[in-house]
Amino acid sequence: MLTNHFLSAEARAELALFTDALDRFCAAEIEPHYRDWEKAGQVPRALFQQMGEQGFLCADVPEAYGGAGASVDFSFAVVEVLSRRGYAGLVGGLQVHTDIIPPYLLHCGTEAQRQHWLPKMVRGEAIAAIGMTEPGAGSDLKALRTTARRDGDHYVINGSKIFISNGQNCDLLVLAAKTDASAGAKGVSLFLVDTTTPGFSRGKNLEKIGQHAGDTSELFFEDMRVPADALLGGMEGQGFVQMMRELPRERLVIGVQGLHAAKGALDVTLKYVQERQAFGQSVGQFQNTRFTLAGVATEIAAGEAFLNACTEAYRRGELTPEAASALKLHASELLGRVADTCLQLFGGYGYMAEYPIARFWTDARVLRIYGGTSEIMKELVARSLLGR
């Protein structure tokens, strides 16, 4: 659990109760079914509704919009618990719904937009996704080809997106499109798209090497007409500014995911090496195993200190894009090293899909890609050091 010096003793006790309730929910409602969801390639829509009923979605959304108005720690606790239990495929889509989309509405949306979408998201009745990445534009958001042309009191949108988490299930899509193709980044706008809109269509659920329970799709827009009031905040050409404002939280929550998934990988490895016998003793009694695990635990502890510092900066409204990028870089690379190191201690069993460490390992790889690749994170940190 993240260290929080800003919460009162009472609030910390409430957070502990919240986390315990979530852990029990996972044991009863997720663990028995998760392997089936991995095979199906997505979690059922009903899971979002179940989590909404229990108060596990969008916990820091204000009460005026149906949320609990809790501190961000409650929202991050959901990512912590699910990541440590090895549900990365669910976490990938859940954090989009709970941690990425609500701030766009709260900070950039109109009151009507907040009132329309947030209560549905809190209840799990409307599942949210974000449409930025395109087949020819990944981390380079200025190279978007999806267009939105004003036509009276509507916009006509054409284009496509790819690798969209919650793509199969989403009811709301925060869509990045060019409203002025000649204006570069200043020509990007964001739209709140109701996915029942004619002209919207979904491609197949994409098959991935990991995070199988998370549905990931290509989305298409063919002469899709959305009302002008679907423009986020009613402001044209502000999409790039809005995205840059909200990216620090996105990268922070990926840091939460990475650090706690690393803890989960260590958890299952500690259990295995104490049970597994080789040459007349447990694997955990060999010096190589002990030194390896000591190194892993130390790396995690150091990473968590960085995560705690960034989280406290976020609570104060002082988390910089550069620090968030550095955290995302560090946590995702750390998880990759930890998962690989821990799998090695399982020997041949680590390569068997039935062992949880195998899922930690395959699920870890994409954290170095989504939310901005490690290479882009390094470039952003370097700019803060050297300028452009």
Residue 312 annotated among the catalytic residues of the structure: no
DSSP state of 352: S
| CB atoms inside a 10 Å sphere around CB 151 | 11
Predicted pLDDT at 156? 98
Predicted pLDDT at 254? 98
Q: Is CATH 3.30.1450.10 what the domain over 241-386 is classified as, yes or no? A: no
Predicted pLDDT at 263? 98
Predicted pLDDT at 209? 96
> Could you tell me the two tokens for 114?
């907040």
Which fold, 9-127? Butyryl-Coa Dehydrogenase, subunit A; domain 1 (1.10.540)
What is the separation of C-alpha 148 from the centre of its chain, rounded to a whole number of angstroms?
Answer: 27
Catalytic entry in 218, 250, 318, 375: 250
Reported for 346-353, long-range contacts at CB under 8 A and 24+ positions apart, including other chains, are: 346/269, 346/272, 349/272
DSSP sequence for 253-274: HHHHHHHHHHHHHHHHHHHHHH
Spatial distance between the Cα atoms of 28 and 16, rounded to a whole number of angstroms: 18
Predicted pLDDT at 4? 54
What are the residue boundaries of the structural domains of the chain, listed by start? Answer: 9-127, 130-236, 241-386
Please identify which residue in the block is written with the tokens 């960034």: 310
Sign for the pseudo-dihedral over CA of 254, 260, 265, 268: negative
> Could you tell me the two tokens for 276?
């597994």
What's the pTM? 0.94
Beta bridge partners of 289: none
Predicted pLDDT at 231? 98
Predicted pLDDT at 385? 94
Predicted pLDDT at 138? 67
- Helices 111-123 & 101-108, crossing angle to 10 degrees? 160
User: In order along the chain (388 residues), what is the average pLDDT of each group of 10 residues?
Assistant: 63 93 98 97 97 97 96 96 98 97 98 98 98 81 89 97 97 97 91 98 96 97 98 95 94 98 98 95 96 98 97 95 97 98 97 96 97 95 91
| CB atoms inside a 10 Å sphere around CB 329 | 24
Beta bridge partners of 236: none
Which fold, 130-236? Butyryl-CoA Dehydrogenase, subunit A; domain 2 (2.40.110)
